[in-house]
Amino acid sequence: MKKTILTGLRPTGNLHLGHLFGAGTNYLKLQDDYEFFLEIADVQALTDNFNNPDKVRHNVYEITMDLLAIGIDPKKVHIFLQSKIPQIAELTVYYSNLVTVSRLFRNPTVKAEVAQKKELFGNDGESITYGFLGYPVSQAADITAFSGQLVPVGDDQLPLLEQCREIVRKFNNIYGDTLIEPEAVLSNVTRLKGLDGNEKMGKSLGNAIFLVDNEEEISKKVMGAITDPSKIKKDDPANPDICMVYYYHKLVTDNDALNTVCSECKAGKRGCVACKKELINNLVKFLEPIKDRRKKYEENPSLVKEILDDGTSYAKEKAAHTIDKVKHAMKIDY
């Protein structure tokens, strides 16, 4: 029998290069050989966007089109909508008893995200909501509802996956062997940095190149990218290893050209503006086929809705089976 994959994305914005290199490349590699559930996590997106439902709704379709544009095949991957699977909410309630509040507060991903969202949760996280604090529990429900064995993610998700594994172990200890412990699958770019040098390119961090960005948007962003601060004049030698422009050249520039970028930068033979322009060209070229594939779906929104509907009804069947097993184990199968 095929192993099962579950992973998800929050409809909080379009896909960016971090998604593509951090997680998307693995989706593409794995989609042929596994039973693959890909969740559009609208309920999770609402935990920190509860005051902006239009944004979440709009991005459900945007992100689905982005996924299809990078080459996700809807015949192989069940793309589904979290809010349409009530069993996930039900599992979340049952699992809530298996996690302490202090453990959730100590979760490194929750801590980092609360620190980034001061406007919403206050300077010291004093206004954090019950829903946001509990989203790792809901994520454990996402994974186990489909008996996910492998979870392709970026490394910001590892503490959440560990939290899920703890819940599974505790559940199985108390109620008997029912759930499967999932494992993370990381790509070779475990966390793509932002153009601003931030440790993570994130949709909600204002430092991302989106797959839908046009040349003008890409130019503006790349022109503002962080370079070696010691290089003042065009012909000063610099260190490419601390330059975000070189960091992105490594993703989209072919090997020979990349060696030239590196050696000319070190020798002071290349100005940052020329180097940025070359990167802009390469990024535009790199994104062209993705944009071409996207057009078909942009012109046919009913096709996107149909893909989501089909994926969701398939996912619902699987989740219904899990909830029966869970309720039986918990002796609430009246």
Per CB under 6 A, residues contacting ligand ATP are 9-10, 12, 18-19, 22-23, 153-154, 156-157, 191-192, 200-204
Residue with Cβ nearer ligand ATP (23 or 245):
23
H helix or E strand, kind and range, residue 78:
strand 77-81
Tell me how far apart the alpha carbons of residues 215 and 221 are, in angstroms, rounded to a whole number.
10
Smallest gap from Cβ 67 to ligand ATP, in A, equals 11
User: Shortest gap between Cβ of 154 and ligand ATP (angstroms)?
Assistant: 2
Decide whether 191 or 277 has the Cβ nearer to ligand ATP.
Answer: 191
- Beta carbon nearer to ligand ATP, 92 or 157: 157
Shortest distance in whole angstroms from residue 10 CB to ligand ATP: 4
Identify the sign of the CA torsion 311, 313, 315, 317.
negative
What tokens appear for 156 in the block? 């910001």
Q: Which is nearer to ligand ATP, 200 or 270 (CB)?
A: 200
Distance separating alpha carbons of residues 240 and 145, to the nearest angstrom: 45
Q: Assess contact for 64 and 308: CB atoms under 8 A.
A: yes
Nearer to ligand ATP, 55 or 231 (CB): 55
CB of 175 or CB of 286, closer to ligand ATP: 286
Q: Residue 222 corresponds to which tokens in the numbers above?
A: 């790349």
Task: Decide whether 49 or 144 has the Cβ nearer to ligand ATP.
Answer: 49
Minimum gap (Å) between residue 189 Cβ and ligand ATP: 6
The whole-angstrom distance between residue 130's C-alpha and the CA centroid of its chain comes to: 22
Q: From the CB of 94, what's the least distance to ligand ATP, in Å?
A: 24
Q: At what angle do helices 272-298 and 255-267 cross, to 10 degrees?
A: 150
Least separation in angstroms between residue 131's CB and ligand ATP is: 15
Q: How far apart are CA 230 and CA 237, in angstroms?
A: 9
CA 205 to chain centroid, in Å, comes to 13
Contact 143, 151 (CB under 8 A): yes
Find the shortest distance in angstroms from Cβ 315 to ligand ATP: 18
Strand ranges of the sheet holding 183-185, from the earlier edge strand across to the other edge: 77-81, 35-40, 4-9, 150-152, 183-185
